[in-house]
Amino acid sequence: MNGSADTILITGGRVYDHDGDTDHPPVADILIVGDHIEAVGPGLAERLPVLLGRPADNVIDARNHLVLPGLVNAHYHSHDTLLKGCFEAIPRETWLLNALPPNYPRRSRAELRARTLLGAVECLRAGITTVQDMATMAPMDAGDIDVVLAAYAEAGIRCVFSLQTGDVHGAAVTPFWEALLPKSVAGGMSGVVSSAVLAEGLAEQLRELHAQLDTGHETITWGLAPSSPERCSPAFLRALARLSAEAGLPVFTHIYESRATTLIARQKFGHWDGSLVRYLDDHGLLGPRTCLAHGVWMQPSEMRLIAEAGASVVLNPVGNLKTRSGVAPMSRYVDSGINLGLGCDNNSCSDAQNLFQAMKAFAGLAAVSSVVSHRPTARDALFAATAGGAQAVGLGDRVGRIRPGFKADLTLLDTTDPAFVPLNSAARQVVFSECGRSVDVVIVNGRVVVRGGRTTTVDETALRHEIEAVMAGLRADISAVCGRTEALRPHLEEAHRRTWDAPLEVHRYVGVPND
Ligand SMILES: [Zn+2]
């Protein structure tokens, strides 16, 4: 034990254990030394002279509180946090045109900092202690990325950071776009032709950025983020597989988010039986370090491959609804034994970084994916939002459980909130009753980052002013980008109609297609 490290004693809270009584977790104390949990159990306060040899530096009275492992937002993008509320529920392929950074002019560093901080603050205040950021940076400039990383360090949230990239243009792998979009537009939208040289160059750029910017920060780790299998050439995937193996980096990607992304697999990946999972596997990217976001349109045979490989799937049920992408087969996923995490995805497609919403949707949407399975239960949902997500982002041995030796990432909920009165089941009331209102104290890596529901690390008023200052310019750009998308609407709608009409053996909507 480090005798000089800061210590926190949390007394009298109900401490949640996935393997214990999840309805009425027993009252226990938690001793934090430095960045980790040193001890958990009843009566630690009395044993402190033996355990620590001195009083704790800080004592948090957690009576009337439920102490949860900090929530893990296992799929998120910081690049559009300022776009929340900008769009109605629109199809994913149209929404991407409005949301993706390459469609916008380069952003100022003031905006990069403000948007990253805002996302971190929103997460922390919702009890999220770890976020997996698949950030799209246009361009991938080391100085710009450093601004983002500095904002994460300032906010104090744990971040598994990754740079989202691909070497095949989106228009080339979106069904019917190249045929239907006007040539003047398609030229700019489908111009990227992948090649081995390009793939190696891009992978080398990622290798250099990681070597330069991963400085061993205690709350910021790195991963790789090939945008989606169809957006990546075989050469690029192989290069990323090598980089992942060399540096032990987790790999994050989107897969089968929408009907369109599934149809393109059948249209263009026949060599792999139309399966993007087999495509990844064939290039060394299906293993325990692999984390697949969405998987709405996954086939059962592919689930078996994922389970055998020990890869994870991160479900994003709220974002999938808002992008009209359908409902993932929740029950089948739970029954498959695949490790599952939950994510909140972009702020412009789920519009909230709130895992309470995600947990409730995950548990509730099983109603339209299976009538026989009784899972996922609330306990499953809370596991996915903590330990499952931690494993999915490569932190399963450190985060997601309240145990000695684990990092001190904790979320304390005030159980005098109506959501917990009366307390009938902690797990069920966290998942079905709570909305984020009761988040009182949040601790990350042994540091109190939220107290009384407000961040202690960020001046939230000053941040609001910083955001106001950048919004005038951003609003004008949003308007221009949306205007461009609107002009393409007849072509986009025709592409959607053809995507709908094309036969596909998987169905992920409630009711019949086009009902
Ligand atoms: Zn995403």
CA of 76 to the centre of ligand 1 (A): 6
**CA–centroid distance, residue 312 to ligand 1 (Å):** 15
Look at residue 181 in the predicted model and tell me its pLDDT.
87
Give residue 453's pLDDT: 97
* Distances 432 to 20, 340, 402, 420 between C-alpha atoms, Å: 20, 19, 22, 10
> Residue 75: in which H helix or E strand, if any?
strand 71-76
Outline where 12-166 has alpha helix (H): 44-51, 92-99, 109-125, 142-155
| Structural tokens at position 345 | 């995805």
What confidence tens digit (pLDDT) does each residue in 297-327 have?
Answer: 999 999 999 999 999 999 999 999 999 999 9
N-terminal to C-terminal alpha carbon distance within the chain: 63
CA of 258 to the centre of ligand 1 (A): 12
Give the mean pLDDT of 11-27: 98
What phi-psi label fits residue 274: left (phi over 0), alpha (psi between -120 and 50 degrees) or beta? Answer: left
Q: How far is the CA of 40 from the centre of ligand 1 (A)?
A: 36
Query: Is 2 a residue whose pLDDT tops 70?
Result: no
Model pLDDT for residues 238-265, shown as the tens digit of each residue? 999 999 999 999 999 999 999 999 999 9
CA of 300 to the centre of ligand 1 (A): 22
Q: Across residues 74-100, what is the average pLDDT?
A: 93
Q: Environment class of residue 88 by beta-carbon count within 10 Å: exposed (0-12), middle (13-18) or buried (19+)? A: exposed
In the structure, what pLDDT confidence band is assigned to residue 198 with cuts at 50, 70 and 90? Answer: confident
Q: What is the pLDDT of residue 85?
A: 94
CA–centroid distance, residue 228 to ligand 1 (Å): 10
| Ligand 1 centroid distance, CA of 75 (Å) | 6
Residue with tokens 């290039």: 283
**Does 235 have pLDDT greater than 90?**
yes
Pairing verdict, β 251-255 and 220-222: unpaired
CA distances from 352 to 62, 96, 126, 259 (A): 27, 17, 10, 24
Residues above pLDDT 90, as percent of the chain: 86
Mean per-residue pLDDT, 422-438: 98
| pLDDT higher than threshold 70 for residue 210 | yes
Q: What's the average model confidence in pLDDT over 108-118?
A: 98
Band (23; pLDDT cuts 50, 70, 90): very high
Ligand 1 centroid, distance to 125 Cα (angstroms): 21
Name the β-bridge partners of 11. 61
DSSP string, 159-181: EEEEEEE-SS-GGGGSTTHHHHS
How many angstroms does the Cα of residue 3 sit away from the middle of ligand 1? 43
* Residue 185: per-residue pLDDT: 63
Q: What is the pLDDT of residue 377?
A: 96
What is the whole-number distance in angstroms between the Cα of residue 50 and the centre of ligand 1? 48
How confident is the model at residue 170, as a pLDDT?
84
For residue 114, how far is its CA from the centre of ligand 1 (angstroms)?
Answer: 20
Closest CA to 96 of 263, 231, 237: 231
**In terms of DSSP H, where are the helices of 441-509?**
460-487, 489-501
Least confident of 73-82, 99-108, 122-131: 99-108
Return the number of other C-beta atoms located less than 10 Å from residue 82's C-beta.
21
The Cα–Cα gap between 159 and 431 comes to: 24
3-state secondary structure 372-413: CCCCCCHHHHHHHHHHHHHHHCCCCCCCCCCCCCCECCEEEE
pLDDT score at 293: 98
Å from CA of 77 to ligand 1 middle: 6
Distance 160 CA to ligand 1 centre (A): 14
Instruction: Quote the ligand 1 centre to 59 CA distance (angstroms).
Output: 39
Residue where the block lists tokens 């529920």 = 89
How far does the centroid of ligand 1 lie from the alpha carbon of residue 383, in Å? 21
Q: 196 CA distance to ligand 1 centroid (A)?
A: 26
Q: In this predicted structure, what is the pLDDT of residue 512?
A: 60
The Cα 225–Cα 207 span in angstroms is 12
192 falls in which pLDDT band (50, 70, 90)?
very low
pLDDT of residue 32: 98
The identity of residue 71, as a single letter, is L
Task: With cut-offs at 50, 70 and 90, classify the pLDDT of residue 374.
Answer: confident
Q: 300 preceded by cis ω (within 30°)?
A: no
Mean pLDDT for the chain overall: 94
- Measured in Å, residue 459 CA sits from the centre of ligand 1 at 28
Whether the per-residue pLDDT at 188 is higher than 60: the answer is: no
User: How far does the centroid of ligand 1 lie from the alpha carbon of residue 133, in Å?
Assistant: 9
State how beta strands 251-255 and 290-294 pair: parallel
Which element (helix H / strand E) includes 305?
Answer: helix 300-309
Q: How far is CA 53 from the centre of its chain?
A: 40
489 CA from centroid of ligand 1 (Å): 23
Distance of CA 104 to the CA centre of its chain: 23
Report CA(277)–ligand 1 centroid distance (Å): 17
- Which range has the worst mean pLDDT, 54-58, 86-90, 358-362, 508-512? 508-512
pLDDT band at 366 (very low <50, low <70, confident <90, very high): confident
CA angle 302, 307, 313 (to 5 degrees): 80
For residue 134, the CA-to-ligand 1 centroid distance in Å is 7
pLDDT of residue 367: 83
C-alpha 112: how far from chain center: 19
pLDDT for residue 187 is more than 90: no
Q: Is residue 368's pLDDT more than 90?
A: no
pLDDT at 189 over 60: no
The residue type at 34: G
> What average pLDDT does this structure show over 390-403?
98
Which one is predicted more confidently, 171 or 120? Answer: 120
> Which class for 122: exposed (0-12), middle (13-18), buried (19 or more C-beta within 10 A)?
buried
> 441 CA to middle of ligand 1, Å?
28
User: Percentages helix, strand, coil for the chain, rounded to the nearest 5?
Assistant: 45, 20, 35
pLDDT at 1: 45
pLDDT at 178: 87
**Concatenated DSSP letters for 420-443?**
GSS-S-HHHHHHHT--STTEEEEE
Tell me, in angstroms, the distance from the centre of ligand 1 to residue 451's CA.
Answer: 30
> Strands 220-222 and 128-135, how do they pair?
unpaired
pLDDT digits (tens, 9 = 90+) for 323-345: 999 999 999 999 999 999 999 99
Q: How far is the CA of 479 from the centre of ligand 1 (A)?
A: 22
DSSP character for 24?
S
pLDDT at 513: 55
What pLDDT, on the 0 to 100 scale, is given for residue 195? 73
How far is the centre of ligand 1, averaged over its atoms, from the C-alpha of 345 (Å)?
5
Dump pLDDT digits (tens) for 271-280: 999 999 999 9
